[in-house]
Amino acid sequence: SKAPGHGRKRERLFAEYTDANPQTEDPHGFNIVTDAPKRIAIIGAGIGGASLAHAFSRRGADVTVFDKSGPGQGASGNPLALVMPRLDAEDNLTSRILIDAYLHARAVYSGLPVGTETSSEHRSPHDAERQRFKKVLADPPLPPEALAAGPDGALQHKRSLIIEPAKLLPALLQSSRLVISDPYIDLEAATVEGEPFDAVILATGMALADMPDTAWLPLVARL
């Protein structure tokens, strides 16, 4: 249709397109709505499994964690862990998720007596990496109280956390039921030792390669 123009233009053409079947783009499935599982089994009581247990428990789920040796007996058994952000020079979906994960971890750990705030430096002997640091500092994704330039081209993370897994894991698991056993798992039926669950989550790291029904997952350990 014709419509009044702008400035010296007397008239302009105006068109409006109405899609009868609008499609909302959601390539990562963030907008998928499903019924929240109420009974959850988590296999593995390391940092991954314990963090999942804590998150689901806070959402009101009934969580049971199974581990054949107990919390932190595998890769999560280090005496200390450093929590600092992984920053990319580009602003994309991955870089935003990494920053959100770091900020969320800080928020979770701040409510638990498990660590100490410290300052750490991310250094690199490679010029390409130092150039990436410069790009990050030119448009920092974190405020000055959290991120600054360090000596010799390093990134200084002023709000890193030193975490003690021996204290963290029990705190994350305190609202869940912990079972020390090497249970039989039927993924297709969603049962553990014959007990049905709404969801069964495998959080066993490289031990996944030794579990039944996981041959389709080509895990490779790189040390």
Contact 185, 43 (CB under 8 A): yes
Per-residue pLDDT tens digits for 108-129: 888 887 889 999 999 988 988 8
Nearest to 74 by CA among 41, 45, 50: 45
Question: Please, are residues 207 and 183 in contact by the beta-carbon 8 Å criterion?
Answer: no
Give pLDDT, residue 214.
73
**Measured between alpha carbons, how far is 214 from 208 in angstroms, rounded to an integer?**
7
Residue 219: pLDDT band (50, 70, 90) is confident
* Spatial CA neighbour of 80 closest among 187, 1, 166, 138: 166
- In this predicted structure, the answer to whether residue 27 has a pLDDT above a threshold of 70 is no
Please report the pLDDT score of residue 89 as a whole number. Answer: 86
3-state secondary structure of 137: helix
pLDDT of 24? 65
Closest CA to 76 of 219, 172, 160: 172
Amino acid, single-letter form, for residue 25: E
Q: Which residue did the predictor score with more confidence, 18 or 201?
A: 201
Distances, alpha carbon 32 to alpha carbons 19, 26, 35, 36, 177, in Å: 22, 8, 10, 12, 29
pTM above 0.85, yes or no: no
Q: What is the mean pLDDT of the chain?
A: 88
